[in-house]
Amino acid sequence: MTNPAIVQFWNDFIQTLSPSSPYRSKMFTAEGFGDSPELADELGQLVLSGVKTGTSSALWEWEAEGNLLPQPGHMTVVLDGQKRPICIIETTQVWVCRFNNVDDEFAYSEGEGDLSLEYWRKAHTRYFSRVLPKINKEFSEDMPVVCERFKVVYK
């Protein structure tokens, strides 16, 4: 069951829209970024500030969870480390590429560290090395990564 605070946040968003807005009929998911409350707080703040406009995940995680990949138009209520809603984002672009094919532009859009591809690779190697063993996978340079771009539609 969805947290009542999340439902209220979504309803507050809907109340700001015109009656004909296409957002009114959309479904949403609610989740934080990262794999810890601290990372959810840190990355959530980067989203709120407009620095973070992209995110990545391992394709294998989506497959292990039996979830379809997000599509443009997908709505997410972003949660902080305490699972409280902080904003709503809309997915604008999704593609899958190999880890070692992520480029400078996408690394920059993730908004982390010094915004460089080198930082992105180091941070995401650590991240994937932590989370993938939970689904019996290991990080590799050629693993498939889901790259997602988004925009904030409500704060």
* pLDDT, tens digit, 9 for 90 and up, residues 115-142: 999 999 999 999 999 999 999 999 999 9
Name the DSSP class of 96.
Answer: E
Q: Is residue 109 within 8 Å of residue 149, measured between CB atoms?
A: yes
Of 25-29, 48-52, 73-77, 114-118, the range with the lowest mean pLDDT is 25-29
- Residues 40 and 78: their CA atoms lie apart, in Å, by 9
pLDDT band at 143 (very low <50, low <70, confident <90, very high): very high
- What are the sequence ranges of the domains in the chain? 4-16+25-154
In degrees, rounded to 5, the angle at the alpha carbon of residue 142 between the alpha carbons of residues 99 and 75 is 40
Query: What mean pLDDT is predicted for residues 8-29?
Result: 94
For 4-16+25-154, the fitting CATH number among 3.40.50.1580, 3.40.50.300, 3.10.400.10, 3.40.50.2300 is: 3.10.400.10
Handedness of CA 136, 140, 143, 147 (dihedral sign): positive
- Residues 145 and 48: their CA atoms lie apart, in Å, by 24
Whole-model pTM above 0.85? Answer: yes
Amino acid 2: pLDDT = 66
Q: Which residues of 30-65 are buried (b: 16+ CB within 10 A; e: fewer)?
A: bebbbeeeeebbbbbebbeeeebbbbbbbbbbbeee
Share of the chain above pLDDT 70, in %: 99
Q: What are 47's two structure tokens?
A: 């989203």
pLDDT of 1 above 70: no
One-letter-per-residue 3-state SS of 25-36:
HCCEEEECCCCC
Q: What are 118's two structure tokens?
A: 């080198």
Nearest to 30 by CA among 47, 46, 6, 11: 6
Query: What mean pLDDT is predicted for residues 76-83?
Result: 97
